[in-house]
Amino acid sequence: MKVNKFMAIRLLLVLALMASISSCSKKSSSNSGSRATGWKINDKKGGFQYASKFKKQETGPGLVLVEGGTFTMGKVQDDPMHDWNNTPNQQHVQSFYMDETEVTNLMYMEYLDWLKRVFPPEEDNYKNIYEGASPDTLVWRNRLGYNETMTNNYLRHPAYAEYPVVGVNWIQATEFSKWRTDRVNESVLEKAGYLKKDAKVTDVKGEATFSTDTYLAAPTKTFGGDDKIVLKGPRNSKAAGKGGTKGANGTITEPKGIYAQRSSGLVLPEYRLPTEAEWEYAAAADVGQREYNVYKGQKKYPWSGSYTRSGKRQIKGDQLANFKQGKGDYGGIAGWSDDGADITNKVKSYPPNDFGLYDMAGNVAEWVADVYRPIVDDEASDFNYYRGNVYMKNKIGEDGKVELVTGESQKFDTMPNGKVMARNFPGQIAQVPVDEKETYLRQNFDKSDERNYRDGDKQSTRYYKFGDDSEEGSKLKPEQRMYDSPIHNVSTDSIGNMIRKYDKSSKRTTLVNDDVRVYKGGSWRDRAYWLDPAQRRYFPQDMATDYIGFRCAMSRVGPKSDSKKSARNKRR
């Protein structure tokens, strides 16, 4: 018995020694440095700096994660018109984030307030910025209807604060998304100590603003080049505010990694409009119908079943979305169980879908990023499908550095309807189209503007002369365009008067062109037919209505999801 105890103690000592050796080995391995060079990473003396403690992408304000997957895009339950506008095709969408709700009046008012404070409309350089971003409140007017209450109150009255913003065209929605990107990243970097506290409120002005792209490309030019705002390293760190360290021989060594970079893992990807494929995938939310690695396809709307009313005992008979239930019936009989709204309704008034997204059917239809074409070209792409790419690059000045937009160099565009809108803001990096330096011998893209690829470009028309590389053969006359839409032209004369040239031709055959965008989902004005996530319509990108709003999306970087799952979608 004594011998057995002695052997047991000896065995325990051996196991403890082995565990200790193993632990030391792991520790030694983890501290050995780079697996590429053996050099120490994040050495205080310099060298390669990297966010080795990065865990996962932070979820931006207002967003929820939509785990990517495959789905049948364009599969509608009803198509009485038989217009082939929705052709089912299999697509795969990468994981992304999407706004939990539509962008509300309160959210958009914050944007307008910032523009008005930073770019005062009374100054000549900025006079069109605020007006160009303001929603068109006149969309509520109707020749035979009294809607002046909404015209005067819907955007700004606190009673409508949490209602979805309308009267916003596609361009305005896109610009809001860019502004939101900069404000969110500005706050992120301030919290991390890379920007002076509260500078976003107390120090911001027209020629001294924060731009995410400017900070990443030329951090010293951010906030007008004020190094008291853009700190050299996190606040309270040794590098912050210092010009470097003095060596033994008197030389000054500039501190390394003093500004946040992409590799820091702090800066979030851009807010943007979702693509049509992303929006439809998120609205359908087939994850709720999933069984093993297939989905059952039992949904007609974003919720389960084929009816618009709830079957749950507590709310049985209640409408699950805000839509037009019949001619002259926008909200049912007073006091009866209906959708609870006549125009739009407060966000989160109806149950979310299986991704946790609200109002993916009804309330307002929503802009998506895509240029409209009758058919989705799944033969060209079945992964993250999107038609609308226009590739740009940073403009480099004569000094070899990026060129920033100023109040004098800022560009404005006059829309066909006469509205003047800012193309860029002071403090942003000026953009130019990519050229042959980026496209030469590439197989994946060949020019800056790819909106017409395989549909709308000159090769797609019946007039294209294959094999004719001459200058005349490469040009098409205006009447030979594949999409013969009207061409309206608006310009200004030397004294600023607007000149409108309306296309009066009676030979136009379509309204489709590169400036019409897809919008998805039914609205408070639409019948249940349009609540199907696969339904699609289009509208000019520079025009607004009282029934189209929008929500933002953000790409997911890194793993597809935050946790591993088994075949039956259980966490482990």
Q: What b/e readout covers 97-131, taking b as 16+ CB neighbours within 10 angstroms?
A: bbbbbbbbbebbbebbebbeebbeeeeeebebbbe
Distance from C-alpha of 210 to C-alpha of 230, rounded to nearest angstrom: 10
Residue 467 has pLDDT above 90, yes or no: no
Q: Six-digit token pair at 556?
A: 């997911």
Q: What is residue 293's predicted lDDT score, i.e. its pLDDT? A: 64
pLDDT class for 393, splitting at 50, 70, 90? very high
Only one residue has tokens 């990468």, namely 94
CA 229 to chain centre: 28
Average pLDDT over residues 402-429: 90
Collapse the DSSP code of 462 into the 3-class scheme (helix H, G, I; strand E, B; otherwise coil) and give the result.
coil
- The pTM is what? 0.89
Q: Six-digit token pair at 140?
A: 């509520």
What residue spans in the chain does CATH classification 3.90.1580.10 cover?
Answer: 60-189+266-388+523-564
- Specify the range with the lowest mean pLDDT, choosing from 274-278, 498-502, 525-529: 498-502
3-state secondary structure string across 479-521: HHCCCCCCCCEEEECCCCCEEEECCCCCCCCCCCCCCEEEEEC
Number of helical (H) and strand (E) elements in the chain, helices listed first: 9, 20
Q: Six-digit token pair at 68?
A: 């990517």
Q: What is residue 29's predicted lDDT score, i.e. its pLDDT? A: 43
What pLDDT digit, counting tens, does each position of 11-56 carry?
Answer: 667 666 666 655 554 444 444 588 899 998 888 777 888 888 888 9
Contact 375, 418 (CB under 8 A): no
Q: Six-digit token pair at 236?
A: 């309270």
- The letter for the amino acid at 269 is P
Say what percent of the chain tops pLDDT 70. Answer: 86
CATH value of 60-189+266-388+523-564 in 3.10.580.10, 3.90.1580.10, 3.40.50.300, 1.10.730.10: 3.90.1580.10
> In the 8-state DSSP scheme, what is residue 251?
P
Q: What b/e readout covers 30-65, taking b as 16+ CB neighbours within 10 angstroms?
A: eeeeeeeeeeeeeeeeeebbeeeeeeebeebebbbb
